[in-house]
Amino acid sequence: MIKSELIAKIAENNPNLYLRDVERIVGTIFDTISDALANGERVELRGFGAFSTKERASRVGRNPRTGEQVSVDQKLVPFFKCGKEMREKLNDN
C-alpha cells in the first residue's frame, strides 16, 4: 500500500471527512514522526509498533561499479519494531 492508497482508504471509511483533510492529517502524522526521529526521540504507537533510530558505525565499503574501496561515514537509520498485537495478527493466518 502506498500513501495515496492509505489516504483513499481512510477517506472511504470516513465519508464525513474531505479528502484534502485526510491528506493533511496523514501528512501531519508522517511529518511529526519524522521530526521526532530527527530529534532523537522514540515514537510508540501502542498495538502497532515503535519507531526509533539506530546508529550504524563507519566502515569501509566498496564501489560496486569500480571495485574501489570507499569510506562510509557513521549514520543514523530509522528502525521499526512491530508491536505485539500486530505480530499476533500477522501470524494468526
Query: How does pLDDT run across 38-75, given as a tens digit for each residue?
Result: 999 999 999 899 999 999 999 999 999 999 999 999 99
CA angle, corner 45, sides to 81 and 57, nearest 5?
35
**pLDDT digits 0-9 by tens, 68-91:** 999 999 999 999 999 999 999 999
pLDDT at 92 over 90: no
The partner residues of 78 in beta bridges, in order of sequence, read 53
CATH architecture of 3-91: Irregular (4.10)
Average pLDDT on 21-28 reads: 97
Q: Which amino acid, one-letter code, is at 83?
A: G
Stretch (H or E) spanning 78: strand 75-82
Q: State the distance between the two ends of the chain, measured CA to CA, in whole angstroms.
A: 19
Give 93's pLDDT tier (boundaries 50, 70, 90).
Answer: low
Does residue 7 register a pLDDT over 90?
Answer: yes
Q: Is the pLDDT of residue 13 over 80?
A: yes
